[in-house]
């Protein structure tokens, strides 16, 4: 897992969908997986619990409708768009790298921060 990175001083922020929220229910329905999405959010949180007490790790639950999943690693960001009617694993992943003056990286990070700021501690 990422425990070694945390022990080396990495900062990790993970926003998870609130399993009982309307946004998660609706997305599960639209993706054709129903309650499985809420179950996945619960399982993910359970897997993360051991790392959540490690300094540098923070997990928040949010009720934001997501249009993509965002994964940032230093100067790189992976974006998995949520295509209506298809589970995330069936959709493309786009890779963006931070470049001074370029807008796409910062644009997606603002989206991440928007969801993060509306979350609550898990």
pLDDT, one tens digit per residue, over 83-103 is 888 888 899 999 999 999 999
Global pTM? 0.82
Output the pLDDT for position 33: 84
As a whole number of angstroms, the distance between CA 22 and CA 45 comes to: 18
Is residue 16 within 8 A of residue 93, CB to CB? The reply is no
Sort residue 51 into left (φ over 0), alpha (ψ -120 to 50) or beta.
alpha
At 98, list the tokens: 């931070």
Architecture per CATH, domain 3-121, reads as: 2-Layer Sandwich (3.30)
């Amino acid at each position: 897992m990422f425990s070694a990175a945390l022990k080396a001083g990495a900062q990790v922020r993970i926003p998870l969908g609130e399993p009982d929220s309307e946004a998660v229910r609706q997305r599960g329905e639209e993706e054709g997986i129903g309650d499985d999405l809420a179950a996945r959010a619960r399982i993910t949180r359970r897997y993360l619990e051991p790392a959540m007490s490690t300094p540098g790790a923070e997990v928040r639950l949010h009720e934001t409708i997501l249009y993509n999943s965002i994964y940032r690693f230093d100067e790189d960001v992976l974006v998995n768009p949520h295509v209506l009617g298809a589970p995330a694993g069936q959709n493309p992943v786009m890779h963006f790298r931070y470049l001074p003056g370029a807008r796409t990286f910062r644009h997606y990070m603002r989206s991440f921060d928007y969801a993060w700021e509306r979350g609550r501690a898990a």
